[in-house]
Structure 1
Amino acid sequence: MIRLTWNLSQKIAPILRAWLPTNVLRDALRTRRGLKWGLPCMLLAAPYFYAAAICRALIEDGGPGWLHLLVILCIWNTFKMLWIGPVSFTKLIRLRLQERADFRHGRAPTRVGSSATRV
């Protein structure tokens, strides 16, 4: 059963990563050009939290039970958006420090995610 669940999650993960908006945004923010947008992206947590609050109010007023899934999804996306900001800011600072060091030593700039070894 665990093996079946693991294999199914391995098949579904690339599809979800390619089509869900927060995953697409997260992948775009991990590029060199996207790192600077990490902190403003944290503001997207507010609409997700508001949507979760609306769904919760609808549930309490006798709404359908499937809204619980939307509440969980909205809260998950809220935390994901809140986490993107500090992570991208940290990566941006590290990358800029590395670029400055490369410039001072006359080396070619390194890219984000490059597997080249540094001298």
Structure 2
Amino acid sequence: MPTNILIRATHTRRGLKWGLPAMLLAVVYIVIAAALARWVAGGAPGWINLLVLLSLWNALKFAVNGPITVVRLARVRAYERRYRDGRLAGQPRQTPVDDRTPVEPR
């Protein structure tokens, strides 16, 4: 299913930031489900109800995926920050060079 491919893409490091905007697709799927349900109520074939269920299922997947990716993004950024700060702490401090101070001859 294309929705599974999109959700899987939002679980990569590059895609984590797109998890919350992708959550807005849940609204689109709910609107589609409502339109299809109204069409069935108006006399459309009963098998359209399967499309209603499919749309609601996809909406649920995107609605749940949004908060999950936000939490994962926060964890990854915290890990990256700890790694970056740890590497900076391991480097020796560099003192600024003062050109006005005379250098002692050897």
The TM-score bracket by the shorter chain reads 0.7 to 0.9
Show the counterpart of 1:27: 8
Q: Does 1:40 align with 2:14?
A: no
The answer to which structure has the higher helix fraction is 1
SS of 1:106's equivalent?
A: helix
For 1:97 and 1:47, the matched residues in 2 are separated by 32
Matched residue, 1:92: 73
Q: Distance in 1 between matches of 2:31 and 2:23?
A: 14
Percent of residue pairs bearing the same amino acid type: 45
Task: Give 1:36 deviation, angstroms.
Answer: 0.3
Equivalent pairs, count: 88
CA distance in 2, matches of 1:36, 1:47: 20
- Equivalent residue for 1:78, pick from 51, 56, 59: 59
Q: Which structure is richer in relative contact order (CA contacts within 8 A, separation 6 or more)?
A: 2
Residues in 1 aligned to 2:20 and 2:39: alpha-carbon distance in whole angstroms: 31
State the match for 1:54 in structure 2. 35
The structure whose Rg is larger is 2
Gaps of 5+ in 1: 1-19, 108-119
Shift of 1:42: 1.0
Q: Which runs of 5+ in 2 are unaligned?
A: 89-106
Deviation above 4 Å: which 4+ runs of structure 1? none
Residues 25-48 of structure 1: CA deviation (Å, up to 9, x unaligned): 011101000000111111111110
Q: CA RMSD in A?
A: 1.2
TM-score (ref. length: structure 2): 0.79
1:54 aligned partner, one-letter code = A
Amino acid at match of 1:80: K
